Structure 1
Amino acid sequence: MSDPDPLAWETLESNTAYSCPGFEVVHERVRLPDGTETGFDSVADPAAVVVLGFTPEGEVVVIEEWRQAVERMSRGLPAGTVEPGEEVEQAARREFEEETGYIAAEMELLTTVEPLNGLADSVHHHFVAHGCRPTGSRELDDNESIRVDTAEYDDLLGALANDDLRDGRSALCLLYHARFGAESGVP
């Protein structure tokens, strides 16, 4: 085992300060590298998947979903939580079908990121899917209000530039695919 990084914090105590469906707020007492003891609060958030799904015609499957936190409809890519014991690709296929009714012929991991690692332990797995057809069945969660559509890939990239697509998970997935998709072997 390697020596800990000299900038690492030591966790002295940890407890759940608040719990609700979907996440927990964790309070920790930590010791900083200089010996100072202080508190640190973070969000414990289950892993999530995001799917950039292409139809056989090359259009992207998109959703519009009400987002209460920002009080508006949000346009983006299907995404959702990885269930306990579930493999990430299995979760991507399940969430994609449940939210859109589309089933992917092919599904490949594009990248994995920690989008809020200064605030939360979130891990997002971004996938690219091909051969997506509306042959599945939608099964929305009780708190989901989703409209499904398709869009041209270049139009979605343009929507990012015009501030018309603001969902961070979707933006990252589209931009990563545009820049690195072909280079990483994920067309």
Structure 2
Amino acid sequence: MTDLVWETTDTAIDYTCPGFDVRRDEVRFPDGTDGEFHYVDEPPAVVVLPFTPDGDVVLIEEWRQAVGRVNRGIPAGGVEPEDAADLESAAARELAEETGYEADEFEHLVTVEPSNGIANSVHHHFVARGCRPTAEQDLDHNESIRVDTVDYETLLEAVLDGARRDGRTVTAVTQYELTER
């Protein structure tokens, strides 16, 4: 496998914005030639598949500028430095901030690198059970989120027929189906 490894000889941030950076690595390829590789550099994220006591799923609707539409999916957000050692706390924080819901329990579902050809993103997916509305949302200045609930079977059908395109939601529901049901 070492014949596939690129050596990073230098690295720098070319662009910074809220939520991520664009990083440029100077690299040496296995054949000895040099080049550059640019990628999105962002902190890890938590993704929550939240179930109410009745088995419904708490969803969010949020504008996504990159695709130019309202996205209907599950809560997710970046891991803060103080959360790095306790991803379950990060998942609880993001669920509360985005939805106003709190969960009785969290279970790790899967960790994935959703776009490792262009980003160093790592998403830690959790299932949250016993979710109840307990407070108001605490949104960031650039978030506009509406909260709703949907029957799990309806969400599953939307994932299977392609109506739900959010990758985090599709990953969580698919993994849940494969491992939990």
Residue matched to 1:177? 176
| 3-state secondary structure, aligned to 1:40 | strand
Q: Does 1:51 align with 2:45?
A: no
Q: Which runs of 5+ in 1 are unaligned?
A: 183-187
Query: How many residues in Structure 1 have an aligned counterpart in Structure 2?
Result: 179
Residue matched to 1:70? 67
Amino acid at match of 2:42: D
Moved over 6 A (4+): none
Among 27, 32, 35, the alignment partner of 1:35 is 32
Q: Cα RMSD between the aligned structures?
A: 1.1
- Provide the TM-score with structure 1 as the length reference: 0.92
* Displacement of 1:85: 2.4
Q: Which runs of 5+ in 2 are unaligned?
A: none
* Displacement of 1:35: 0.8
* Displacement of 1:163: 2.3
Residue matched to 2:141? 142
* Displacement of 1:161: 2.5
Residue matched to 1:115? 114
| 3-state secondary structure, aligned to 1:61 | strand
* Displacement of 1:180: 1.5
Distance 1:42 1:181 in 2: 34
Amino acid at match of 2:146: R
Amino acid at match of 1:155: T
Amino acid at match of 2:115: L
Residue matched to 1:185? none
Q: Does 1:96 align with 2:98?
A: no
